[in-house]
């Protein structure tokens, strides 16, 4: 029998460091399962005798699973509690990773990747809901930024780790490694994560309750606005992931090693910005921090477009724009998500699920769009950077505009930094 501490969570407003570390581990699923695997695409295509497009679909199915897992897992945990559903998600991810490792063809691999993403998304959204259950106001913003900031190490090391595994063994070992991480996640969920949703706060469940919860969160204009703020930032982020290798290697002649260094430096910029956001929580209006990030993203997109149209995207413009873009991500993404969750505290699981679904659906759609112009132009990338920044600004300034003068003081204080 597990210790009582695992079923009785800490008091509201307190988030132990061990729990924060566990949630960081859970949120590392996506970058680990994508960036570790991408270097193996040519090997997978060769072994299965299939096209590059078919192998690319294994990434798309993973994103689809991530989105659906968050959509289902969040409301389910509102009904049944956090802890055991979280364990179920980590177990599913582990089993699916094993299925990926032994897949006999690309079609089985696609299915296994979908289930892997579903389990990972399920676990990710519940981990985030636990934080929302326990932290409030500035502490919620601070903790979620710490999760993003420290978790930003994952996309830095994932490509290098995947390349080392591929060099020493083969692509299947990547999935065996992810299965081992899944086992570790399961033990963390069992022994570290508390039950933060007591029975008296749970919803009745069923399709009717889910529909009511979804209607409730989506009818909140400010919640929708902050979802747009955070999800629009994903437009530029995944356009960058999809096209930066072509822009920096094909168009500017960087070697794969040099590209990996630039990629890691950019991820480091995002991490430092997120950590700075955590330090500013409670001192500076979170809306102001988001707005600064949006302006940085817009300027970066404009510089990239000018460089693409008139100067053939020189290296200095490309690297500077990419770094600025990733710094902007660290200021926008988690802050927008934190304010979205705070708007609907009565439905933390459902709100996290909606946010996750929109973000990962955006990721799946944007990646192929970014490559429509081919591998010798940065114009589509630049347009997506600008469009994402403008849409994010619309979410902040129009949909999530400040409360009117008659709104309760506590709400106005929290969102406007007074």
- The rounded distance, in Å, linking the Cα atoms of 159 and 153 is 11
Is the same domain home to 308 and 225?
yes
- What's the confidence (pLDDT) of residue 244? 77
What's the chain's Rg over C-alpha atoms?
21
Asked if 359 and 238 count as a contact pair (C-beta separation under 8 A), the reply is: no
Q: How many CB atoms lie within 10 A of CB 362?
A: 21
Q: Which of 196, 222, 252 is the last residue of a domain?
A: 196
Q: Are residues 169 and 148 in the same domain?
A: yes
Final residue in a domain of this structure, among 196, 230, 265: 196
Based on the domain organization, do 314 and 394 belong to the same domain? yes
Whether residues 170 and 275 fall in one domain: no
Count of structural domains within the chain: 2
Q: Is residue 330 part of a domain?
A: yes
268 occurs within a structural domain: yes
On whether both 176 and 248 belong to a single domain, the answer is no
Mean pLDDT by 10-residue block, N- to C-terminus, for the chain (418 residues)?
A: 40 68 80 72 79 73 85 80 90 95 92 93 85 77 70 66 75 90 91 81 65 82 93 86 75 76 83 85 88 96 91 88 93 88 78 79 74 73 92 94 58 43
* pLDDT given at position 14: 65
Q: Does residue 132 sit in the same domain as residue 224?
A: no
| CB contact set of 21 (below 8 Å; sequence gap of 6+) | none
pLDDT at residue 39 in the model: 63
| pLDDT the model gives residue 380 | 85
Query: Is 283 within the bounds of a domain?
Result: yes
d(CA 36, CA 131): 27
Question: What is d(CA 184, CA 402) in angstroms, rounded to the nearest whole number?
Answer: 43
234 and 366 Cβ atoms separated by less than 8 Å? yes
Domain range for 326:
204-400
Count of beta carbons in the 10 Å neighbourhood of residue 112: 24
What CATH number did the domain enclosing 80 receive? 1.20.1250.20
Residue 275 lies in a domain: yes
Q: Are residues 119 and 35 in the same domain?
A: yes
How far is Cα of residue 90 from the mean position of the Cα atoms in its chain?
17
149 shares its domain with 236? no
């Amino acid at each position: 029998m597990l210790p009582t501490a695992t079923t009785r969570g800490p008091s509201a407003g307190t988030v132990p460091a061990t729990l924060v570390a566990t949630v960081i581990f859970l949120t590392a699923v996506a970058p680990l399962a994508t960036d570790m695997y991408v270097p193996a695409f040519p090997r997978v295509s060769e072994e299965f005798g299939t096209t590059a497009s078919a192998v690319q679909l294994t990434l798309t199915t993973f994103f689809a699973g991530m989105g659906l897992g968050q959509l289902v897992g969040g409301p389910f945990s509102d009904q049944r509690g956090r802890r055991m559903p979280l364990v179920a998600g980590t177990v599913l991810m582990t089993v699916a990773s094993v299925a990926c490792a032994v897949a006999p063809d690309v079609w089985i691999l696609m299915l296994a990747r979908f289930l892997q993403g579903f389990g990972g998304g399920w676990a990710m959204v519940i981990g985030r809901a636990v934080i929302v259950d326990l932290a409030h106001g500035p502490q919620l913003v601070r903790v979620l930024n710490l999760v993003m900031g420290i978790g930003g190490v994952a996309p830095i090391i994932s490509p290098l780790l995947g390349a080392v595994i591929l060099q020493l063994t083969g692509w299947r070992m990547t999935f065996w490694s992810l299965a081992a991480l899944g086992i570790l996640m399961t033990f963390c969920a069992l022994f570290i994560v508390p039950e933060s949703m007591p029975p008296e706060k749970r919803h009745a469940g069923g399709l009717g309750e889910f529909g009511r919860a979804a209607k409730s969160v989506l009818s909140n204009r400010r919640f929708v606005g902050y979802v747009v703020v955070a999800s629009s930032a994903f437009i530029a982020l995944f356009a960058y992931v999809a096209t930066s290798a072509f822009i920096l290697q094909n168009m500017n002649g960087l070697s794969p090693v040099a590209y990996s260094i630039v990629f890691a430096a950019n991820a480091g910029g995002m991490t430092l910005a997120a950590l700075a956001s955590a330090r500013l929580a409670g001192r500076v209006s979170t809306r102001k921090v988001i707005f600064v990030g949006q302006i940085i993203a817009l300027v970066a997109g404009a510089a990239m477009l000018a460089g693409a149209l008139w100067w053939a995207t020189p290296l200095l413009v490309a690297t500077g724009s990419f770094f600025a873009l990733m710094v902007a991500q660290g200021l926008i993404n988690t802050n927008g998500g934190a304010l979205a969750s705070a708007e609907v505290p009565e439905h933390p699981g459902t709100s996290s699920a909606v946010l996750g679904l929109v973000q990962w659906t955006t990721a799946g759609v944007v990646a192929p769009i970014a490559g429509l112009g081919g591998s010798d132009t940065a114009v589509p990338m630049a347009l997506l950077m600008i469009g994402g920044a403008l849409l994010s600004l619309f979410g902040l300034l129009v949909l999530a505009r400040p409360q009117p003068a008659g709104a309760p003081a506590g709400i106005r204080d929290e969102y406007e930094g007074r």
